[in-house]
Every structure is written in C-alpha cells, then in structure tokens.
Amino acid sequence: MTTPHWTDEQVFNQLNSGEKWSGPTITYTFPDSREQIHFEQGEGVNFTPLTAEQREYAKLALATWNDLIAPNIVPGSIGASNMEFGNTYMVEEPGYAHAYYPPMGSIWFSYMYNELQHPVLGNRGFTTYIHEIGHALGLDHMGDYNGDDDDGPSSYQDSGVLSIMSYYGPEDQRGKGDVMWGDWFSPDGVIHGSQTPMLNDIMVIQAIYGAANTRADNTVYGFGSTVEGDTAVVYDFTQNVYPILTFYDAGGIDTLNLSGWGTDSDIDLRPGHYSSANGMTNNLAIARGVLIENLTTGAGNDTLYGNQANNILDGGAGHDSAYFSGVFANYTLVYDLDGRTYTVHDTTGADGTDTLINIEVAGFENFGGNLNDLTPGIHRYFNTNNGTHFFTANNDEASNINALEGLIYEGIGFMRDVMPNAESVAVHGFHNDVTGTHFYTTSNDEAMNIIETNQLTYEGIAFQAHAAKTEATTEVYRFYNSSTNSHFYTANAAEMENVKVELAGTYVFEGVAFYTEAA
C-alpha cells in the first residue's frame, strides 16, 4: 500500500514522545555495576559495563546530538545522571538495543552483537548508538512500531534518509517504493548508515530543546575540513570516506568541499534539500534554516544548486552545471576576463549574487546553456601589432586573447541576443587566418559566397542579433579596412561618424550589419 506524504507537523507529532529533560545541561555516565543504572525489564541481571571502545563511540554519538541542541550534553556523576549506558542480554524483545525516555534515560546494547560491541562510523552499530540516544532524549520512532511489533512504515517520511529514528530506508533495505530512498552502497558492495541525526530529527529535536550555536564561525566541511571537537571525524571526508549525514551550522561563511571525489555529483545547497555524491544518492543533506554559502566539487561532471546566499560555486574539473531557481530575465551575468569567473546576480534577491568557477553550463527556470552563450557582451580588442580590431562572443577566447602581448582590451563592443526570439537572426562567424580577426554577417548569401570561395574559415553561428530596427535596439555598423583586409564593427553612432570622416581613406563604410541592444 502506498504510504502518505506527511506534513512537518505530522512528523513532529510522531517523533516527539512528549518526554524531555529540563535545564541547561543533560548528563550521561558509563556505570560499572548494575546498581548504578536504571532498568525496568530485568536488564540488570546480565549487566556488563561498556568497553573503552564502546564508550568512545557512545561519546561520538552523543556529540552528534550535542551539536544540535541548546542544552549541553556533558559527563555526569554515577547514580545522578540523566542518561546511563550498559550492555545486557535479553532473550525477549527488545534484545538488540533499546533505551528509555526521560526521566529514566538508560540505554542498553546487547553484548551478543559484534557491531554493537565494535561499532564503526557508518555501520549499523554506530547508527544504533545515535538512534537509542535519540530515544533517551525523548524521540519516538517514525512509526507506531517497536522491536518485532512492526506493521510497516507510517509515511513516505518514515525513512532513515530523513530520520535516524526510522526502521525503514536504504540502510535497512526495507520499504523501497513506499519511503524516501537512497543508494548507500559503497563500490565494494557494503551498505552504510547515517552518521548524524538526519533532517527531520534535527527539526524535531531543536523544536523540543532549542537550537545550539554550533560552528557559528567560518567552517569548511569535507576535504580540508576545519571542524574541531568531538565530531571532527564525521565531517572530515578523508577519515569518514562514505559520509551519510545532515549538516547543521549556526553561522559564518561556510564551504562544502567535495574536491576529493571524482564521481559525478548532484549537490544542492538549499536548506532542507538532499545531495547525491561519492557514488551514492541522497546521502548529504543541509538542515532547514542552515546556509552553506560556498561549494567546491571534484573531477566528475557535477550539477550545483546554490541557495539564497551569495555563493561561490567551483565545479573543479569535469563538465559542470549550475542551476538557478528563477527565470533568465531576472539575472544579470558578467564575465571576469582575468579570473575566468562568472558573476550571476539575481535582481529579485532570491538567489543572491553567485560566483561561478570552473562551471561550463548554467540553467534557469525557462532557459539555459553554455555559459559562453549566456553573457550579452561581445568583447572588443585593438591589435597594436597589425592595426586590426578583434571581436569575439566567446569568453574563453577573450580571456586567452587578453593575455597576448599587443592586444588592448577596449571593453564590450556591442551586444547580442542571448535568448533568441521571433526578431532574432543568426550571425555567421568566420575567422581570418591571415589577420587573426573575426568577420560577422547575417546574410546567408554572403556567408555562402565566402564559404564557396574559401576566403575565410567558417566557424558556424557565432551569436544571435536583431534583423530589424526596434525601439529597444541600436545599429551595429560595419566597416572594411582595406589596408589590413579586416572588418571593424561599432554600435556607437558618434564613433561611426568619426571613422567615416577621419579615416575615410582606410575604412570603407558598409552600412548596418545588424541591430542589437546598446552596450
């Protein structure tokens, strides 16, 4: 049966047991005897204390919750703490692991299961540690089930992708088709589990306890991580090599650095959204209300989504794409010749002002394409070596030309139609192999004649312009330089008149080449 999609309110009502700790601190201990721990179901009969190895992973699991909530989770006094940990063995359920809600708060692991005795970051044992601490803090399961009493998932949200309190999802390989799913297998065929509380866990636990002011300064996550403290290993992807987690960050200018991966990634910086990376799907999420401003991806062909902050998006190697939420007309795109970067400004403010580095494609709600084709300006240079002018619509070519000796950048010579419409006309582009200049024409007949006579090298459609004059356009005039056998273009009427008069012996006026918006 298809499960329903729940609202956040329904998720909260399910996960919130109604029990919680009060006060500015929540304490924990590792008792050494059954007299020092609370129990109700006979667990104390077979009590053994947690080993040193278990205690280290229990502290790490506690730290993942401590990162999220306003009260501090700190060591307490034996016999007077909120949460206590112990090993036991029970024939009856719950025989794997279980925990009690506040005000009891004891957490039990079966010493019969190797993964609970020897947990590893990302294996079922460690996920269980986080899950049981969630109960001890007051969280319920994501459905009305417990142990073997299991009637199936409650909703589409009843998934480990969204909540570590769920019995369903990719780590359990249960509920596929009914709950949110992800591929959490590593290349060696091993399935991994989440290493932090997940998106809905964070939403609910912070609604209960308030949000922590964790990592409020500038932070790098992933490769080159600057996270310090108990959870540093979780966010360092040289140590946590198969991360499945949700990022919570309280402020600063933050960076998600995935540059160490060569697989294709689909990364979404929007709060409350999931990303797919490192050969997995839906394995990285950003908590609601959290802004990670900057993103660097690796050598794969990556897709990058920014958020409402001013983002720096670096695609690294590969063929990478950045996507924006609004219609193309709401954005201005500017290319920096020296830095070889694009600035994309959302005039509505929804997507902020983003810097794109090593990204080849941009997509908008109604339009998109190669970034080289999305900036409106045609670059103009003067070549002091041979007295010609060089024009190009290609930003990469412009950056290469900009570095050559004797080429002086004169700014944007004229504009082009970025988003073709009914008034647009194709402008054919040719390369003059002798002078190193470009020739442009909207005349199909002229273009065909040049191709047939093999005068210039045909480069295809260079850009789009207007074929006719409108209120919104201006003329682009064309001159032929007889001394250099090259052409000159200008959209400046005063410059056109000056060339016609002052340089009449050198430049032959050929009229209007096409029409375009003024630069």
Residues forming beta bridges with residue 48, ordered by sequence position: 87
- Please say whether the beta carbons of 346 and 326 come within 8 A: yes
Helix residue spans in 40-108 (DSSP H):
52-66
- Please confirm, yes or no, whether 132 is among the known catalytic residues: yes
Which residue among 19, 132, 293, 475 is the active-site one? 132
- Please say whether the beta carbons of 186 and 263 come within 8 A: no
* Tokens of residue 113, six digits: 């299961």
> What separation in angstroms does the CA of 15 have from each of 139, 152, 193, 242, 285?
5, 16, 20, 27, 19
Q: What's the order of all strands across the beta sheet hosting 377-383?
A: 388-392, 377-383, 407-415
Among 377, 371, 413, which residue's Cα sits nearest to residue 393?
Answer: 377
Phi/psi for 512 (5° steps) reads -85, 125
The residue ranges of DSSP E strands in 231-330, in sequence order, are: 245-247, 255-257, 266-268, 274-275, 284-286, 294-296, 303-305, 312-314, 321-323
Gap between the Cα atoms of 438 and 40, Å rounded: 85
Among 284, 289, 253, 280, which residue's Cα sits nearest to residue 267?
Answer: 284
- DSSP assignment of 488-509, as one string? EEE--HHHHHHHHHHTTTTEEE
| Residues involved in catalysis | 132
